[in-house]
Every structure is written in C-alpha cells, then in structure tokens.
Amino acid sequence: MWQFKFSFIDFRLNGLAGFAIGLTIAKLWDPLLSLNWYIYLIVAVLASVKPLISFVKQI
C-alpha cells in the first residue's frame, strides 16, 4: 500500500517517544502502577506479536 522508508533512528526515536508517553500516563494515573507485573508482560507480548510476524514473513 504505502511505501514509506524509515531509517533505524526513526524507529528508535518512535520507541523512545512511546516509552516517554507511557511513563507520562503512569505518572498522571497512579492506579496503573498498582497492576501485577505479569499484566505488563502480557501486554508487551501481545503488542510484539504483529511486528514479529511481519519480520518473520520478510525473512
């Protein structure tokens, strides 16, 4: 569909921005930090499934 080309640094900066936004939300909404550690692990695994599938298809 779209043929965007982003450099490695663009992806790293995007990740840093997402991390900063996540920290900001956690700072502003305290109940988020009271969740158990495995909830964060489940969210991280679910969020990484699509990029991993796309990566494997390109190999």
pTM greater than 0.85 (yes/no): no
Q: Note whether residue 38 is domain-resident.
A: yes
Element (H, E) at 28: helix 8-28
Question: Measured between alpha carbons, how far apart are the two ends of the chain, in Å?
Answer: 20
Query: Residue 36: which domain range?
Result: 8-58
pLDDT tens string 7-58: 888 888 888 998 999 889 888 988 888 889 898 889 888 988 888 888 888 8
30: left (phi over 0), alpha (psi -120 to 50) or beta: alpha
For the chain, how are helix, strand and coil distributed in percent, rounded to 5?
A: 80, 0, 20
The number of distinct structural domains making up the chain is 1
Q: Note whether residue 2 is domain-resident.
A: no
